[in-house]
Amino acid sequence: MYALVDCNNFFASCERLFNPSLNGRPVVVLSGNDGCVIARSNEAKALGIGMGQPAFELRELFAREKVAIFSSNHILYGDISRRVMEVLSQFSPDVEVYSIDEAFIRLNGLPMPEGCEIYARVIADAVMRCVGIPVSIGIAPTKTLAKIASHRAKKQPRYGGVCYLATPDQRAIALMECPIADVWGVGRRLAPRLIAEGVSTAWDYIQLSREHVRRHYTIEGERTWSELQGILCYGIDEHPASRQSITVSRTFGQSVSTFSDVYEAVADFTATAAARLRRQGSAAGSIMIFVKGRGCSPGRYVGALQLMLPVASDSTIELLQYARRALMSVYRNGEAYKKAGVMLGNIIPRSQVQLSLFDTVDRDKHHRLMQVVDAVNKQAGYRAIHTAAEAGRAEWKAQSNHLSPCYTTSFSDIMIVKAE
The count of other CB atoms within 10 Å of the CB of residue 55 is 18
Nearest distance from residue 251's CB to DNA, in Å?
Answer: 4
- Smallest distance from the beta carbon of 416 to DNA, in angstroms? 32
Measured distance CA(83)–CA(77) in Å, rounded: 10
Give 318-321's long-range contacts (Cβ < 8 A, gap of 24+).
318/361, 318/366, 319/270, 319/273, 319/274, 319/284, 319/287, 319/344, 320/267, 320/270, 320/271, 320/387, 320/389
Nearer to DNA, 56 or 358 (CB): 56
329 membership: H or E segment, kind and range: helix 316-330
Residue 264 CA: distances (Å) to CA of 33, 218, 349, 388, 394:
18, 45, 28, 9, 7
| Spatial contact of 18 and 415, defined as CB atoms under 8 Å apart | yes
Burial of 227 (0-12, 13-18, 19+ CB in 10 A): buried
Residues designated as active site: 102
Q: Which residues of 189-206 are buried (b: 16+ CB within 10 A; e: fewer)?
A: ebbeebeeeebebbbbbb
Contact residues for DNA, defined by CB under 7 A: 31-33, 35-36, 38, 52, 54, 56, 98-102, 147, 183-191, 218-220, 241, 243-251, 273, 276, 339, 341, 343, 398
Residue 24 vs 240, nearer CB to DNA:
240
Indicate the residue among 16 and 143 with the shorter CB distance to DNA.
143
Q: Which is nearer to DNA, 224 or 404 (CB)?
A: 224
Shortest Å, Cβ 295 to DNA: 7
Within 10 A of 335 (CB to CB), how many other CB atoms are there?
Answer: 19
Distance between CA atoms of residues 329 and 323, nearest Å: 10
Q: Comparing C-alpha atoms, which of 326, 327, 295 is closest to residue 309?
A: 326
Nearer to DNA, 35 or 392 (CB): 35
Is the bond into 113 cis (omega within 30 degrees of 0)? yes
Q: Closer CB to DNA, residue 105 or residue 119?
A: 105
Picking from 302, 310, 307, 303, the residue whose alpha carbon sits closest to that of residue 288 is: 307
